[in-house]
Amino acid sequence: MGEFDLIERYFKRPATRSPLGVGDDCALLAPAAGMQLAVSTDMLVEGRHFLSTVDPARLGHKALAVNLSDLAACGAKPLAFTLALALPAIDEAWLEAFSRGLFALADAHGCELVGGDTTRGALNLCITVFGEVPAGAALLRSGAKPGDELWVSGTLGDARLALEVFRGTLALPPEAFEQARRRMEQPEPRVALGQALRGIASAAVDLSDGLVGDLGHILAASGVGATVDADAACALIGIPAAAALDPALRRTCALAGGDDYELLFTAPPAAAAAVLEAGRLSATPVARIGRIEAAPGLRIVDAQGGPIAQAFAAFDHFQARA
């Protein structure tokens, strides 16, 4: 099978919402009047973003999920995506499962594949995703104000727990491991919540490198500081068995776990009811875990407000990870 057969068999579908999809030099997108196009690109490399043993259907899901998560963090509605794929060889079983996982998530969000590229090379997945957002309504990292409350969606730290099991530093009961592993391999992007938060949240970011690191982006872009309640964050670890783990490990997972793909966002206290309603409408749990302050820097405290002396490193793709 050659390059064009591969595209034809696994990746070519008629475009239904875009004026032109796969098969020409370019795809054509037509955002509706008054809408801006939100664009994000994420590249996934074997051994760094996923293990070589991962189920290819889950990998197809995750490659798109991490990109949809960026759209969610901007409050954008998914429209379309391109996929560039470097493969060491053509493995039809792999391609069948990968494309199945990819399109299942794409279809769930009405996001169509409009173009891309395939080539031989070390396994590498690069997706660029497109969404629409009303002009001026995108959620940005730069809008947090002192006094705003800090919120997070869903659960924290479960993907990191699975990673620690893979690394052999932790053991979990089989059921808990399977739950954590699914969280790592098949994150659900918070697309509906992101759109529901338009006009309510003052700033937002998606959690990919760990809460402390990603919160740092909001603080830097907004010129503010924050206090985070570590106990409130640790209470959001989804796996019940985690409650019995060492508190320092639980804080690492919840505050610097990485691969959470939840939304971290800020909103004025007066908007708290609207935030809870946005969570309800999008069927997404949301919880308050801290507060934005004028004093620069990040303060991590326990439920009683006492300081926690523990260092947290954000994930950096060019640094070794602890």
Site for its own copies in 118-157 (CB under 8 A): 118-122, 124, 126, 128, 130-131, 133, 135, 138, 140-142
Site for its own copies in 276-315 (CB under 8 A): none
Write the single-letter amino acid at 113. L
Point out which span in 9-17, 40-48, 153-161, 163-171 binds its own copies (CB under 8 A): 40-48
Please select the residue that binds its own copies; options are 117, 223, 248, 303, rule is CB under 8 A: 117
Site for its own copies in 249-268 (CB under 8 A): none
**Nearest-approach distance from CB 198 to its own copies, in angstroms:** 13
Nearest to 114 by CA among 97, 128, 125: 128
- Quick count: other Cβ atoms within 10 Å of Cβ 92? 11
Q: How many CA atoms lie within 13 Å of 162's alpha carbon, on the beta-carbon side?
A: 24
Extract the tokens encoding 83: 């996929």
Site for its own copies in 95-114 (CB under 8 A): 114
**Nearest-approach distance from CB 253 to its own copies, in angstroms:** 21
**Nearest-approach distance from CB 174 to its own copies, in angstroms:** 32
Point out which span in 67-75, 157-165, 247-255, 272-280 binds its own copies (CB under 8 A): 67-75
Number of residues forming the site for its own copies (CB under 8 A): 71
Using the minimum distance from each CB to its own copies, give the nearer residue, 122 or 243.
122
Interface characters, 17-36, with its own copies (x: CB under 8 A): --xx--xxxxxxxxx-x--x
Whether the CB-CB separation of 42 and 133 falls below 8 Å is answered with no
Nearest to 154 by CA among 49, 65, 245, 21: 65
Whether the CB-CB separation of 164 and 300 falls below 8 Å is answered with no
Extract the tokens encoding 294: 């004028």
Extract the tokens encoding 4: 């064009």
Using the minimum distance from each CB to its own copies, give the nearer residue, 30 or 243.
30
**Nearest-approach distance from CB 206 to its own copies, in angstroms:** 6
Site for its own copies in 75-94 (CB under 8 A): 76, 80, 82-87, 90
Site for its own copies in 47-66 (CB under 8 A): 47-49
Using the minimum distance from each CB to its own copies, give the nearer residue, 74 or 170.
74
Write the single-letter amino acid at 40. S
H/E run at residue 103: helix 92-108
One DSSP character per residue, 124-188 reads EEEEEEEEEEETT----GGG--TT-EEEEES--SHHHHHHHHHHTS----HHHHHHHHHHHHS--
Angle ∠(186,189,193) on CA atoms, nearest 5: 150
Site for its own copies in 189-208 (CB under 8 A): 204-206
Site for its own copies in 211-230 (CB under 8 A): 221
Nearest to 33 by CA among 121, 134, 177, 102: 134
